A and B are shown apart, each in its own frame.
Chain A
C-alpha cells in the first residue's frame, strides 16, 4: 500500500495545490484518465469544505489529505479537526452560519454526484470525507 500524505494550512490558496497533487498521484496509481477530472473536482470540494470548517471555527491545525493506492482501488481521505455538531446536541440548529451551511451542502452534493463510493464521517473531534475509485487493471499482453 503506497500512501502520500499532504498537510496544508487551512487557506483557500492551497486547495489548488491539493487538487494538483491528488490528480498526479491518482494518475500514477492508474486511475482512468477519464475519471481524473472527477478526482480533481471531488478532492477540491472536500478540501474547500475542510478549509471553511477550520476558518469558521478558528482552528489553527492543518487540513490533512491522505492519498492511498491499494491493489484494486485508489482512496482519498480529507480530514478536518472541526468539532461537528452532533444532531440534537448544542449548537445544532439555525443560526448565523446559514450561508456557510448552504455552501457546505452544495460541496457535498457535488461530491456525492461525482463519486459512487463516498463516506462522510463527523464527530466532536473532527470529520473526514473518504472517497474511493476503482483502479483500471493493467493491460496484459498475450504471450
Chain B
C-alpha cells in the first residue's frame, strides 16, 4: 500500500490526514507535504495518523523535521493516533515526550498547550 495524503483547514490549524505506509520509500512525500505547508504559512499542524498501517524510523525522522520547522515559526505539530502498534514506536524512541499525541482530531484542534 502506498501513502495517501490530504489536508484540511480548521481555524488556524491545518489537518494532514495520512494513510497507508510511512517508510523509507514514502516518507519523502510526507516530508514534501509538511515543508510545503510551512512554506505556505501553516505553522499549526495536526497530523492525523489513524489511517497509517505502518510507520518506521524514517517516518519518525520526517515528523521530527516537521516539528523543528513549525517551532522555528512558534508553531505546533500535534499527532492523532490510537493505534497501539504505532504508539509503541513513539514510546520506544522516547518521542512521546516530544510530540503531543491526541485521541481525536477534535481534541488536537481544541488543544492549546
Contact = CB atoms under 8 A, between A and B. Distances in A.
Nearest to A105: B57
Interface residues of B, number: 14
A116 B89 CA distance: 15
A103 interface: yes
A4 interface: no
Nearest to B60: A106
Contacts of A103: 57-58, 61
Contacts of B23: 12, 15-16, 19, 44, 48
Contacts of A102: 61
Interface stretch (A24-32, A73-81, A107-115, A131-139): A107-115
Interface of B: 21, 23-25, 54, 56-58, 60-61, 85, 89, 92-93
Interface of A: 12-13, 15-16, 19, 37, 40-41, 44-45, 48, 51-52, 102-103, 106-107, 109-110, 113-114
